[in-house]
Structure 1
Amino acid sequence: MRKKRCSCVLSLVGAITVIGILAVPVAAQSDPHNAESPGVADLVRRQLDLDDKDGDGKISKEEAGQRLRRAFELVDRDGDGFLDREELMQLAERLQGQRNGRRRPAPARRNGVHPASTHVEAAYGPHPRNVLDFWRAQSDAPTPLAVFIHGGGFVSGSKEALDARTLRELLKAGISVAAVNYRFVTQSPLPAAHHDCRRALQFLRSKSEEWNIDKTRVAAFGGSAGAQVSMYLAFHDEMADPQSDDPVERESTRLTCVATTGGQTTLDLSWWQEHIPGFGEPHRDLTQVFGTVAGDDYARLVGELSALDLISQDDPPIFMVYAMKPDATVPDDLRRARQWQIHHVIFGVKLKEKMDTLGVEANLKYPGSSTQYDSIPAFFVAKLKPGRN
């Protein structure tokens, strides 16, 4: 399975190289192993100089040249409608890696370079995207575990999007980390992605002795779609099957805590239209996303996957981060407005209101807010290693 996955990735990268996505030839790059090498950095700078018409340091689809626009969604790993320097850097590294004959694309470089992982692309299921990376924190005693679930609107993204600074801080605090890939809706409709991540969580617990994991202290975190899945795992009732012949399925799915950025606390689009300023019709084919648009089936899936429907008094604490104030105005740019809307702080406000009523801890951070924790690592240290501070 892993060999097949690598071939698919290289074929895709090869197709990008052929259409000449970047304005500057790949041959102009220098050191393929260093994301900050002059060749790669210069390539990205020149691409921004060429296409960043409004000078905001990002390239929108409208700004992108014809060739880059053709693969925009592939390169836009976080699904925010813009290509930032990090995403362009990742693309440049992928193209350089393909040119040099490497079997795998270079890791994403968010806030630096990832430390070497203990296990790379460990298969937790049968699909080529059912793989994860694992970093073992240095400790003689079993360590807590934080599981990263990437975003991308369920159509893009990868485990390589894990922020390197967050990874380093968690490992320094003695918390092991895993980063998970899962199936996209273009491969299988929801809840396939959620079920994949559930399986990954159980797989990690099944490795507790071998990988030195304390499976009683496990958290999940992610942004956007990854946040949505993380909340599903946190707030869903226990999904272990004690009678299963598969020992992985007998492992618990419950979490100690959860952290999110820009997370959607419901998938009910009628709720979105009612609560999110300026939100209109959905921009995605719901049949592809959910496998159905029928009323009862759709409502059942929404209820099964949405934090606002799942939350109950016995659920773990959450730390939520959003990029705008509750009273912020909708951006004028339509594409930016769309991303602003689907990651709106109202999702967090409404979940916190419900959790406050239930007596479940909910921490909500946005510009100008006052919170007990200033970051995801700080929250995880407090909840997973309460005696450390």
Structure 2
Amino acid sequence: MLCLCVLVGMHLAFAGLRGPEIRDIAYGPGTSNRMDIYKPSGAGPFPVIIYIHGGGWWNGDKRFISRDDLDYMLSKGVAVAAINYRNLVEADRDRIFPPVLAPLEDTKAAYEYLVRNGAGVGIDGRRIAAYGGSAGGFNALWLGLSLQKNQPAEGLRAIGGIDAQTTIDPFEMRDWVSPSINYGGHAFGLPEEDFSSFLARRENFLGYIAALSPSYLVGAGSPPTVLLYSEDLQHTQGDHMSLVHSPQFGSGFARAARKSGQEVTLLDGASGNRERYTTFFDFLIAHVLN
């Protein structure tokens, strides 16, 4: 625990070296519905990339954005909007089922705020991309894919995930990643470690899985999508966090997309090749600048 606290403290201090130009915009009614906006030099309105923090939908904070990633996007003339959102505990408080709907709906509300009100804060609401890490990447994928399914999403130009989960279907997770994976039930209010109950109740959740899982939503006409993973596709380490962030999530998703006529850019092995990060952000930047 001491090591974790020290690492978190270092991360916060690191991210805090550059403060946002606009802090804690209220994009919704809850105390967690807050957004920071970082702007590049020059006159706006600027295209914007939304950053959605990870943390398994349990924790995390908008301040955790990487300084290197932030500075790179700003250097290209793109603003960054980092958001907080309700976690699973707050979803339970608000009696939302499945609990994962709370962080997803908040992500959509933040996007819609920028579309409607971006001009007032120097943002071009017609040129938006979204990305996140881990569960935040899931949010970004769901945002873009669900918008495209249900309504025109002309303002959302691209979506991306870093070490992101791409499905909350336990069958797909076991098929794509490993029979040993133990993740996802918490999205439906189950203990995360009780994967057997998740499998047993899958039929009860299928309607939600179809509506919320990026793997079910992707198809022809989906927004341009890029996925980045720290490990390479040949990585065989089997500890819990390795499986939760496995590049096989990306590989399985890319196959599902391809079957429906959509190509996905998949970048693996980023821990050994930092240029993968540049490629990832260049993908998002290019789509909001053009």
- Give TM class, smaller chain: 0.7 to 0.9
Decide which of 277, 281, 284 is 1:377's aligned counterpart.
281
Letter in 2 for 1:197: T
Change (3 A) 1:382 1:343: same
Change (3 A) 1:321 1:200: same
Contact 1:237–1:254 (CA under 8 A) maintained in structure 2 = no
2:8 maps to 87
1:340 maps to 242
Structure (1/2) with the larger helix percentage? 2
1:33 maps to none
2-structure distance, mates of 1:273, 1:284: 13
List, as ranges, runs of 4+ consecutive aligned residues in structure 1 with deviation greater than 4 Å.
238-241, 251-254, 280-287, 292-297
1:209 maps to 119
Change (3 A) 1:121 1:348: same
Residues 334-377 of structure 1: CA distance to partner in whole angstroms, max 9, x if unpaired?
xxx100111111111122223334443421111289x9984333
- Using the TM superposition, name which of 176-185 and 296-305 deviates more: 296-305
Q: Which runs of 5+ in 1 are unaligned?
A: 1-20, 23-58, 60-82, 91-106, 242-250, 332-336
1:190 maps to 100
Letter in 1 for 2:10: M
1-structure distance, mates of 2:6, 2:118: 37
Contact 2:118–2:125 (CA under 8 A) maintained in structure 1 = yes
Change (3 A) 1:202 1:286: closer
1:317 maps to 224
Rg (Cα) greater in structure = 1
Contact 2:55–2:135 (CA under 8 A) maintained in structure 1 = yes
1-structure distance, mates of 2:187, 2:128: 32
Question: Identity over aligned residues, as a percent?
Answer: 24
Per the alignment, in what secondary structure is the counterpart of residue 211 of structure 2?
helix
**1:103-252 paired onto structure 2 within 5 Å:** 107-110=12-15, 113-188=16-91, 189-238=99-148
**1:351-370 paired onto structure 2 within 5 Å:** 351-367=253-269
1-structure distance, mates of 2:75, 2:182: 45
TM normalised by structure 1 equals 0.63
Residue 164 (structure 2) pairs with residue 263 (structure 1):
yes
Q: Report the CA distance between 1:295 and its aligned residue.
A: 4.6
Residues 122-170 of structure 1: CA distance to partner in whole angstroms, max 9, x if unpaired?
1111211111111123333421110000000000101011111111111
Contact 1:240–1:253 (CA under 8 A) maintained in structure 2 = no
Contact 2:183–2:244 (CA under 8 A) maintained in structure 1 = no
Letter in 1 for 2:14: R
2-structure distance, mates of 1:373, 1:116: 22
Contact 1:316–1:360 (CA under 8 A) maintained in structure 2 = no
**Pairwise CA RMSD:** 2.9
- Using the TM superposition, name which of 269-278 and 309-318 deviates more: 269-278
2-structure distance, mates of 1:215, 1:141: 12
TM normalised by structure 2 equals 0.83
Letter in 2 for 1:146: I
2-structure distance, mates of 1:225, 1:342: 10
2-structure distance, mates of 1:260, 1:372: 13
Q: Which runs of 5+ in 2 are unaligned?
A: 92-98, 192-196
Change (3 A) 1:349 1:127: same
1-structure distance, mates of 2:186, 2:47: 39
2-structure distance, mates of 1:287, 1:310: 18
2-structure distance, mates of 1:202, 1:350: 30
2-structure distance, mates of 1:234, 1:114: 31
